[in-house]
Structure 1
């Protein structure tokens, strides 16, 4: 399933072979430098339908931009990109799966989420549910904290969509599968990408390279 290619916009289809070749060259260079990522998990254990976990992720600053998304559902980018995490701000997120809930409940900075904001969080949660073979809805509490700002969770900017994506992915995966899989580099970064593309770089931490090109498979864009 996750080896299936993502969307290739018609206007850039002729560029894909060259981009794919470039992607392979990057992988080869990473391998030679001892920086190869672990393989994407092919089989995951059954998840915990009542799991709870919290996570923290830091914001990042783009160094080399990705110039937009090629696939808006899987949130894969036109180009690879590089960023550097920093401690100017952070996101704290708590996730609890509860079989008794009728729908996901998402609170951001003390305010119930709605509309597109809610949909993006649910997209990530639904992906985790599918991988864990659970149907439990989730309570999500999340807030951003800028260094030196009031702790009201309303701070925005400085890459908090990336840190929010990373914190949600880690909390949801850990709640469902436990801390080992919750921190699996490839599973985590691919999952974080589903809320905001740059979330995969925040989840990686430090100096991060996001691998992507139009048509890349979900499991290969980390």
Structure 2
């Protein structure tokens, strides 16, 4: 009745933007990402008949309102699928991140992936990771890809049979390094998704996104570093254009964000294989190879508040009971 799971956050490579169904969190189109490790979320859950109600604690704070509702949606789906009587007991969930949250580094993806993984285990559900990805998706669409790990592709669809994540094999996995440049600035991805379709740039994004997805899948299969991350860089600019031209005119980037962009382009002009990428936030992913990671980090450190060097992470996993948070 108790389980602990770990999941790595994602960096969007070809990102989804906007949802055709907010309740089921069904995106308008496919999306591809990579998981970043060793950054992770660890979550412990326990179904306990002695509790009065469900409680969700993240980073030491009990969730309420919309944040609690998102976790409750994941839990409700687990209870719906479970045959075990104990899965109907109240649940206590605690979660903690090894990296900063709400700064554009994918904390919601690893958070809901770890929650879905732990809850299905504690409820005695025997599911594949693609099946678990459909549960995690109810909290965050990006969490579906954090469940399957590595380079993953979330397929768009109108149901759980179609809208699920699968892992994509690529010879790049071992050599990619991600220098995360932290630029502190609180952001709210939910707002950006909610008004994405109201941007006059949204239809233009939909018109070219399928070509980018095809390019990304082919480049990953071929192990072509430059094609993969040049495509990711271009997709980041496209996403920002759509976000900035929505009704609220969201501009997430800060001066330090643009400084990192310029530094990356200067490095590239000098022959370094390096590309920038952002999700909805001011922090920057700087993608390079193992050979150049130290050089790139030294440059990014000049502009970011903090840097972290990450590798491609694996799928969400169940941890030993000795690693439980409570």
TM-score, normalising length: structure 2: 0.47
Question: 1:50-69, aligned counterparts within 5 Å?
Answer: 51-69=1-19
In 2, the alpha carbon distance for the partners of 1:130 and 1:100 equals 21
Tell me the equivalent position of 2:41: 91
Q: Structure 2 residue aligned with 1:207, among 137, 145, 151?
A: 151
**How many Å apart are 1:137 and its aligned residue?**
1.4
Tell me the equivalent position of 2:140: 196
Q: Give CA-to-partner distance per residue, 1:178-203, whole Å, 9 cap, x none.
A: 6xx25x12221111101001100011
Q: Give CA-to-partner distance per residue, 1:134-164, whole Å, 9 cap, x none.
A: 4211000001112xxxxxxx64431010000
**How many Å apart are 1:167 and its aligned residue?**
0.2
Tell me the equivalent position of 1:20: none
In 2, the alpha carbon distance for the partners of 1:75 and 1:88 equals 27
Matched, 1:168 2:115: yes
Residue 56 of structure 2 aligns to a residue whose secondary structure is: strand
Question: 1:42-81, aligned counterparts within 5 Å?
Answer: 51-81=1-31
Contact 1:74 1:194 in 2 (8 A): yes
Q: Give CA-to-partner distance per residue, 1:14-47, whole Å, 9 cap, x none.
A: xxxxxxxxxxxxxxxxxxxxxxxxxxxxxxxxxx
Residue 115 of structure 2 aligns to a residue whose secondary structure is: helix
Q: Give CA-to-partner distance per residue, 1:46-85, whole Å, 9 cap, x none.
A: xxxxx11000000110010112111111111000010011
Contact 1:145 1:155 in 2 (8 A): no
**How many Å apart are 1:88 and its aligned residue?**
5.6
Question: 1:22-33, aligned counterparts within 5 Å?
Answer: none
* Structure 1 gaps, min length 5: 1-50, 147-153
Moved over 6 A (4+): none
Q: Which has the higher contact order (CA 8 A, sep 6+)?
A: 1
Residue 218 of structure 1 aligns to a residue whose secondary structure is: coil
Q: Number of aligned residue pairs: give it.
A: 160
* Bigger-Rg structure (1/2): 2
Tell me the equivalent position of 2:131: 187
Question: 1:92-111, aligned counterparts within 5 Å?
Answer: 92-111=42-61
In 1, the alpha carbon distance for the partners of 2:44 and 2:75 equals 12
**How many Å apart are 1:100 and its aligned residue?**
2.6
Tell me the equivalent position of 2:96: 143
Q: Which moved more, 1:98-107 or 1:71-80?
A: 98-107
Q: Which moved more, 1:83-92 or 1:162-171?
A: 83-92
In 2, the alpha carbon distance for the partners of 1:82 and 1:75 equals 16
Question: 1:122-137, aligned counterparts within 5 Å?
Answer: 122-133=72-83, 134-137=87-90
In 1, the alpha carbon distance for the partners of 2:16 and 2:91 equals 31
* Structure 2 gaps, min length 5: 165-326
In 1, the alpha carbon distance for the partners of 2:88 and 2:66 equals 22
TM-score, normalising length: structure 1: 0.69
**How many Å apart are 1:126 and its aligned residue?**
1.1
